[in-house]
């Protein structure tokens, strides 16, 4: 491959990975074309990008970026995955696909999250974390729980006073009226 072609590919990779802070590396060697087409279609539906890259060109394209640590020391053929809601949902999808027999050679190789390199085992650990949406629902539940508890504590004394006044009224009224 000529230097001019390598420069073109490097520039294209830089443009495609511009703004990407977190990505995962996967192994797709040995995947049949039919599997690859189904895999890419399923990933596109979830707004996840998959790109097979040459290691040396990926290193050149990501020099100085937040995703550069992902390509340090990586050998062999690989594909880069990025997109989705967040890195946790991306890791969950990668692990889910790697466990399916339909995509047998597909396996996580590593990645980068918050500028830190991830191993394949760490990708599996990240996939067990709650996703962004799940965290928002937990936080919302905690906020609403505190608010509802506070409201019930504010209303409770007034309800007690009202029930005591009602009992006094019942006691003072003659039984027949």
Query: Are 110 and 119 in contact, with CB atoms under 8 Å apart?
Result: yes
Domain ranges of the chain: 3-129, 131-177
Q: Read off the pLDDT of residues 14-28 as tens digits, 9 standing for 90 and up.
A: 998 888 889 999 988
Share of residues in the chain with pLDDT > 70 (%): 98
Return the pLDDT at 149.
79
Strands in 116-119's sheet, in edge-to-edge order, are 48-53, 78-83, 23-27, 107-113, 116-119
CB neighbours of residue 107 within 10 Å? 17
Which has more confidence, 177 or 68?
Answer: 68
For 72, what's the count of Cα atoms within 13 Å in the CB-facing half-sphere? Answer: 13
Topology of domain 3-129 in CATH is Alpha-Beta Plaits (3.30.70)
**Geometric angle at alpha carbon 79, from 38 and 94, rounded to 5°:** 60
């Amino acid at each position: 491959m000529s230097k001019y072609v390598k420069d073109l590919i490097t520039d294209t990779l830089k443009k495609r990975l511009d703004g990407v802070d977190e990505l995962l590396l996967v192994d797709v060697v040995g995947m049949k074309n039919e599997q690859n087409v189904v895999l890419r279609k399923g990933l596109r539906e979830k707004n996840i990008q998959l790109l097979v890259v040459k290691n040396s060109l990926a290193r050149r394209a990501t020099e100085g970026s937040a995703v550069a640590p992902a390509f340090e020391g990586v050998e062999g053929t690989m594909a880069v995955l990025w997109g989705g809601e967040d890195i946790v949902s991306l890791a969950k999808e990668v692990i889910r696909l790697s466990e399916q027999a339909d995509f047998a050679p597909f396996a996580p190789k590593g990645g980068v999250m918050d500028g830190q390199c991830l191993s394949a085992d760490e990708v599996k650990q990240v996939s067990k974390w709650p996703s962004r949406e799940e965290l928002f629902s937990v936080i919302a539940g905690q906020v609403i729980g505190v608010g509802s508890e506070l409201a019930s504590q504010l209303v409770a004394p007034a309800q007690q006073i009202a029930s005591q006044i009602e009992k006094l009224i019942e006691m003072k009224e003659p039984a027949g009226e």
